[in-house]
């Protein structure tokens, strides 16, 4: 048997094993001398066979046993036969490690021998060249679309972005990947949001606001609408309280009014209640009648609601100024005030509360009439007749 | 190659939802500056003009001008497939027969892509000149939406009268009349809550509430709406996109028959 090992290799083995009395594994041999592991195995075996007197060898057996696939480290050649018996099928047997017979090492020590050598990632290429099994290439591609099977295994590597390679163009062939060559945008996250924020086109409109008159409560509403902002009245504390109470209730009334002609059920309830409080009933009926004649209605209500002279003055002023519109005004305001009575006087007298109900139904009707009177004249005629114009009348075709 | 990346799919979702009820088919014109759309509803009363500026995208690239003829109803269905927070990417070739919409979940490892076939849409492109308006109103968009929603119940027409110190919306129908009067109001803390009226000439215009109801579907796009009015001229309702761009509606007014 001719020695396939070079002079250098034999010398290395001799120094390491015999002189330094260290074990030499096939990997360390391969690494140190920069030879392929296959060659390293051959050399080790050859060296072992020629120096059986001094050197002992451990072997690695791979194959199948009853338990499945097994890789077994066999401590020495003598153990080999015994270990082989455990295998049902043997794939490979090769030498693993050589060391002097006189230094006895356990299997574990041998196995750990390799761990003493740190793996240097920068020398990967070297390792590969010498037989380190190269797995599928791991690319730092973000969810590669239209990808070959490799792409799946790539997934975990996505996080390592430093080595990002340009994405492979997608192929229309059916695959688990996306048909578009979409690349995950998660990395871009920070960039993206930043951009959006900084480039926001929003322009503050505070400046504009200053240039424009902001008087809210000017009394002359040139639209012809005579409603007086109640915010002015708010200066009078008592009224203010009334307003806040009334709002909620008023809404309820309006709901009923819009949905249907809701008067009847309320009426029946109220009549029952009215019976209980006959005395008050009379006075309330009076109120209803008077409401129809605008001015007294407001006055009476207000009187009944623990009013101050101030509030009376305000309402009467409003009426005196514009008799026509007071109809709408009173219509909207009366229910509020009556309901106020309810709430205010709940603590004292319950009668007024019940009597308030009957006026509700009568009001929508009352409301509609004045609206028709006041507003129909100028606009309603046109409403039906108005004709929709076309944009084509205004914008020329390009 | 068109590649537009939105940081969230919400924006496009809102835009499509705002427009799809008044125009079914429209051309998305993509240029290097962004995406524009001009479309007129079937009755030719309402014109939609959309600009999604480059800045609305977290990344935008358009090598060559591309026109995407899109069926908004279908597009809307596709866009609804994405969650609001998903990344959304639009992709199209240079002369595309389809447009790709891709959603990516920000947390989970989920990417979905939808391809929508494009259509050849003949559209009349109208030339809209910048013009002087008699009145410019800035107001909260939600406020305007409420007015329209409320008054829509009463009639088909909404009359808008703007005078020196107030804006009056009136709707008169058989069951009754409703009107809402707004006055300029400045909210220093929340400028978007302010109502600003810039008036050169008083105006008195009437519009179809049906169309206004379509317009207010864009309310979610912006907290404010700018309404520009001029006598006997289509009104301009503009929702500015905070991220850059706008959605504008031009609405032809209603006239008295004899005029």
B90 or A85: whose pLDDT is higher? B90
A294 or A14: whose pLDDT is higher? A14
List phi, psi (to 5°) of A120: -105, 110
The 10s digit of each residue's pLDDT in B153-182 is 999 999 999 988 889 999 998 889 998 988
Q: B206: helix, coil or strand?
A: strand
The 10s digit of each residue's pLDDT in A206-250 is 444 444 343 443 433 344 445 566 666 655 554 444 444 444 444
Give the pLDDT confidence score for residue A276 in this predicted structure. 61
DSSP A49-110: HHTTTTEEEEEEEEEEETTEEEEEEESSHHHHHHHHHTEEEEEEEEEEEEEESSS---HHHH
Chain A residue with minimum CA distance to B108: A186
A181 or A275: whose pLDDT is higher? A181
Interface with chain B: mutation pick from A389, A396, A397, highest number of B CBs within 10 Å: A389
The 10s digit of each residue's pLDDT in B222-253 is 999 999 999 888 999 999 998 999 999 999 99
**Most confident by average pLDDT, A157-161, A224-228, B16-20, B254-258:** B16-20
The 10s digit of each residue's pLDDT in A305-328 is 444 444 444 444 444 444 444 444
Query: Which of A210, A213, A383 is facing B157, going by the closest CB pair?
Result: A383
Average pLDDT over residues A107-124: 73
Mean pLDDT of the residues in chain A: 59
The 10s digit of each residue's pLDDT in B186-204 is 888 888 888 989 989 899 9
In whole angstroms, give the CA distance from residue B184 to residue B199.
Answer: 11
> A112 CA to chain B: closest CA distance, Å?
39
Range A7-129 has CATH code 3.20.20.150: no
In whole angstroms, give the CA distance from residue A140 to residue B219.
Answer: 43
Contact B234 A395 (CB under 8 A): yes
In whole angstroms, give the CA distance from residue A44 to residue A9.
Answer: 9
In whole angstroms, give the CA distance from residue A290 to residue A307.
Answer: 18
Query: Which of B161, B184, B241 is facing A213, going by the closest CB pair?
Result: B184
The dihedral built from the CA positions of residue A293, A298, A303 and A309, taken in this order, carries a sign that is negative
Query: Where are the strands (E) in chain A, listed by range?
Result: 24-25, 55-65, 68-74, 87-100, 387-388
Q: A113: helix, coil or strand?
A: helix
Count of CB atoms situated within 10 Å of the CB of A109: 13
Cα A166 to Cα A150, B5, B90: the distances in Å are: 16, 18, 20
Q: Where are the domains of chain A?
A: 7-129, 141-285, 319-398
A 353-372 residues inside an 8 A Cβ radius of B: 367-368, 371
Residue A344: band (very low, low, confident or very high) from pLDDT cuts 50, 70, 90: low
Q: A342: helix, coil or strand?
A: helix
Chain B residue with minimum CA distance to A187: B106
Give the pLDDT confidence score for residue A393 in this predicted structure. 81
Q: Which residues of B touch A214 (CB under 8 A)?
A: 184-186
Give the pLDDT confidence score for residue A203 in this predicted structure. 37
A91 or A169: whose pLDDT is higher? A91
Q: A176: helix, coil or strand?
A: coil
In whole angstroms, give the CA distance from residue A163 to residue A141.
Answer: 8
- Angle at Cα A14 formed by Cα A10 and Cα A19, nearest 5°? 165
Residue A376: band (very low, low, confident or very high) from pLDDT cuts 50, 70, 90: very low
Give the pLDDT confidence score for residue A3 in this predicted structure. 53
Q: Which residues of A touch B10 (CB under 8 A)?
A: none
Give the pLDDT confidence score for residue A96 in this predicted structure. 85
Give the pLDDT confidence score for residue B36 in this predicted structure. 92
Interface size, chain A vs chain B, as Cβ–Cβ contacts under 8 Å: 198
The 10s digit of each residue's pLDDT in B79-88 is 999 998 889 9
- The pTM assigned to this predicted structure is 0.49
């Amino acid at each position: 048997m001719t020695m396939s090992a070079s002079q250098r290799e034999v010398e290395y083995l001799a120094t390491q094993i015999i002189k330094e009395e260290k074990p030499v594994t096939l990997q360390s041999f391969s690494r140190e001398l920069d030879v392929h592991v296959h060659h390293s195995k051959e050399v080790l075996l050859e060296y072992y066979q020629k120096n059986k007197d001094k050197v002992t060898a451990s072997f690695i057996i791979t194959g199948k046993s009853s338990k499945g696939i097994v890789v077994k480290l066999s401590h020495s050649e003598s153990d080999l036969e015994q270990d082989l018996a455990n295998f049902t099928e043997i794939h490979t047997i090769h030498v693993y490690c050589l060391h002097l017979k006189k230094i006895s090492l356990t299997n574990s020590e041998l196995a750990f021998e390799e761990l003493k050598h740190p793996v240097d990632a920068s020398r990967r290429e070297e390792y590969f060249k010498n037989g380190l099994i190269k797995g599928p290439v791991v690319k730092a591609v973000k969810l590669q679309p239209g990808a070959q099977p490799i792409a799946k295994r790539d997934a975990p590597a996505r996080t390592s972005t430093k080595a990002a390679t340009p994405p492979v163009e997608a192929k229309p062939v059916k695959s688990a990947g996306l048909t578009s060559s979409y690349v995950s945008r998660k990395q871009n996250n920070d960039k993206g949001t930043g951009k959006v924020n900084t480039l926001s086109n929003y322009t503050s409109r505070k400046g504009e606001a200053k240039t424009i008159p902001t008087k809210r409560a000017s009394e002359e509403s040139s639209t012809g609408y005579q409603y007086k902002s109640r915010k002015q009245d708010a200066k009078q504390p008592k009224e203010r309280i009334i307003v806040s109470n009334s709002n909620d209730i008023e809404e309820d009334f309006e709901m009923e009014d819009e949905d249907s002609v809701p008067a009847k059920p309320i009426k029946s309830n109220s009549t029952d209640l009215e019976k209980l409080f006959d005395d008050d009933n009379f006075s309330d009926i009076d109120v209803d009648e008077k409401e129809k004649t605008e001015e007294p209605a407001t006055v009476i209500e207000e009187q009944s609601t623990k009013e101050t002279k101030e509030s009376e003055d305000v309402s009467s002023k409003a009426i005196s100024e514009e008799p026509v519109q007071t109809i709408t005004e009173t219509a909207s305001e009366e229910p509020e005030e009556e309901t106020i009575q309810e709430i205010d006087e709940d603590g004292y007298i319950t009668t007024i509360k019940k009597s308030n109900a009957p006026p509700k139904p009568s009001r929508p009707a009352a409301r509609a009439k004045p609206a028709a009177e006041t507003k129909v004249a100028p606009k309603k005629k046109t409403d039906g007749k108005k004709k929709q114009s076309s944009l084509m009348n205004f914008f020329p075709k390009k | 190659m068109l590649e537009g990346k939105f940081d969230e799919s919400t924006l496009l979702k809102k835009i499509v939802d705002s427009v799809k009820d008044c125009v079914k088919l429209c051309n998305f014109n993509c240029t290097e500056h962004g995406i524009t759309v001009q479309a007129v509803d079937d009755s030719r009363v309402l014109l939609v003009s959309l600009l999604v500026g480059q800045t609305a995208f977290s990344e935008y690239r358009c090598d060559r001008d591309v026109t995407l003829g899109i069926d908004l109803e279908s597009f809307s269905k596709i866009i609804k497939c994405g969650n609001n927070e998903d990344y959304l990417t639009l992709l199209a070739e240079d002369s595309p027969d389809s447009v790709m919409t891709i959603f990516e979940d920000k947390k989970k490892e989920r990417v979905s892509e939808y391809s929508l076939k494009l259509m050849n849409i003949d559209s009349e492109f109208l030339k809209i000149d910048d013009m002087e308006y008699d009145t410019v109103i800035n107001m909260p968009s939600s406020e305007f939406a409420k007015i329209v929603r409320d008054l829509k119940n009463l009639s088909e027409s909404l009359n808008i009268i703007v005078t020196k110190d107030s804006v009056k919306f009136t709707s008169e129908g058989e069951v009754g009349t409703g009107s809402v009067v707004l006055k300029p109001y400045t909210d220093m803390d929340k400028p978007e809550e302010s109502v600003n009226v810039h008036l050169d000439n008083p105006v008195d215009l009437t519009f179809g509430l049906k169309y206004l109801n379509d317009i207010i579907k864009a309310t979610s796009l912006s907290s404010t709406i700018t309404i520009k009015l001029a006598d006997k001229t289509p009104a301009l309702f503009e929702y500015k996109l905070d991220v850059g761009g706008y959605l504008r509606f031009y609405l032809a007014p209603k006239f008295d028959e004899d005029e």
